[in-house]
Amino acid sequence: MRISYIHGPGDAFGTFKHWKQLRADPRNIKQTYSGQFFDLIAETDAVGQIVCLSPSGASDDPRFTFETVARRSASGLAYFKEELRYARSVGRTVAKFRPDVVIVSSDFPVFALDVMPGSTDIILSLHNTLWQPYGEPSGIKQKALATLCRFAVRRARYAVCVSEEVRRQFLKLRAGLSSVTQIQMPKLPKASPKEQNSPPLRLLYVGRVEHDKGVSDVIRAFALLSNQNPLLTLKIVGDGGALNDLRALAYDLGVSEKIEFSGRVNADLVAAAYLEADLCVCPTRWSFNEGLATVPLEAASYGVPTIMSRAVPARELFGSDSIVFEPGNIDDLASKMERAVNNGSVYTAACKDAYTSLEAAVCSLGDWQAAITYCLRDIRNNTGHQLRATK
CA distance 46 to 83: 30
DSSP readout, 63-112?
A: TEEEEE-------THHHHHHHHHHHHHHHHHHHHH--SEEEEETTS-GGG
Is residue 199 reached through a cis peptide bond, with omega within 30 degrees of 0 on the bond before it? yes
For the residues of 145-170, what is the DSSP string, one character each? HHHHHHHHGGG--EEEESSHHHHHHH
Secondary structure class of 189 (helix, strand, coil): coil
* Residues 162, 182 contacting (CB under 8 angstroms): no
- Percent with pLDDT over 70 in the chain: 96
pLDDT at residue 390, rounded to an integer: 43
Interatomic CA distance for residues 163 and 166, integer angstroms: 5
User: Confidence class of residue 314 from pLDDT cuts 50, 70 and 90?
Assistant: very high
Q: What is the pLDDT of residue 185?
A: 94
Could you tell me which residues come within 8 angstroms of residue 168 by beta carbon, excluding any fewer than 6 positions away?
none
Spacing of C-alpha 53 from chain mean position: 17
Model pLDDT for residues 147-189, shown as the tens digit of each residue: 999 999 999 999 999 999 999 999 999 999 999 999 999 988 7
Amino acid at 20: K
Q: Give the length of the chain.
A: 391
C-alpha torsion angle, residues 10, 13, 17, 23 (rounded to 10)? 30
- Predicted pLDDT of residue 391: 42
How far, in whole angstroms, is CA 92 from its chain's centroid?
27
Give the pLDDT confidence score for residue 24 in this predicted structure: 87
Query: In 111-147, which positions are buried (b, 16+ CB within 10 angstroms) versus exposed (e)?
Result: bbbebbbeebbbbbbbbbbbbbbeeebeeeebeebbe
Cβ neighbourhood burial of 76 (10 Å; 0-12, 13-18, 19+): exposed
Query: Can you list the pairs that 135-141 forms with residues at least 24 positions away whose Cβ atoms lie under 8 Å?
Result: 135/286, 141/79
pLDDT at res. 188 = 86
- Average pLDDT estimate for 212-226: 97
Q: Which of 117-121, 254-258, 346-350 has the lowest mean pLDDT?
A: 117-121
Tell me the domains of the chain and their CATH numbers.
Answer: 2-188+365-383 (3.40.50.2000), 202-363 (3.40.50.2000)
Calculate mean pLDDT across residues 263-272. Answer: 91
Residue in 156, 283, 276, 158 with CA at minimum distance from that of residue 215: 283
Q: What is the Cα–Cα distance from 147 to 130, expressed in whole angstroms?
A: 11
In angstroms, rounded to a whole number, what is the distance separating the alpha carbons of residues 296 and 312? 9
Q: Strand ranges (DSSP E) for the chain?
A: 2-6, 47-52, 64-68, 101-105, 121-126, 158-161, 180-185, 202-206, 233-237, 259-263, 279-282, 306-309, 323-325, 366-367
Q: How confident is the model at residue 108, as a pLDDT? A: 95
CB half-sphere exposure, 62, CA atoms < 13 A: 1
Distance CA(260)–CA(23), nearest Å, equals 31
Segment 97-110 shows an average pLDDT of 95
CB 213, CB 325: distance < 8 Å:
no
Edge-to-edge strands, sheet with 233-237: 259-263, 233-237, 202-206, 279-282, 306-309, 323-325
Q: Is 90 exceeded by the pLDDT of residue 373?
A: yes
The per-residue pLDDT for range 318-361, each reduced to its tens digit, is: 999 999 999 999 999 999 999 999 999 999 999 999 999 999 99
- Can you give the pLDDT at residue 198? 73
HSE-up (13 A, CA, CB side) for residue 47: 10
pLDDT of 197 higher than 70: no
Q: How far apart are CA 380 and CA 377, in angstroms?
A: 5
The arithmetic mean of pLDDT across residues 29-46, rounded, is 94
pTM, whole model, 2 decimals?
Answer: 0.92
Residue 387: per-residue pLDDT: 52
Confidence grade of residue 386 (pLDDT, cut at 50, 70, 90): low
Give 119's pLDDT tier (boundaries 50, 70, 90). confident
Mean pLDDT over the full length of the chain: 93
**Beta-carbon neighbour count of residue 235 at 10 Å?**
17
pLDDT of 91 higher than 90: yes
pLDDT of residue 139: 84
State the average pLDDT over residues 364-372: 96
Distance CA 45, CA 53 (A): 26
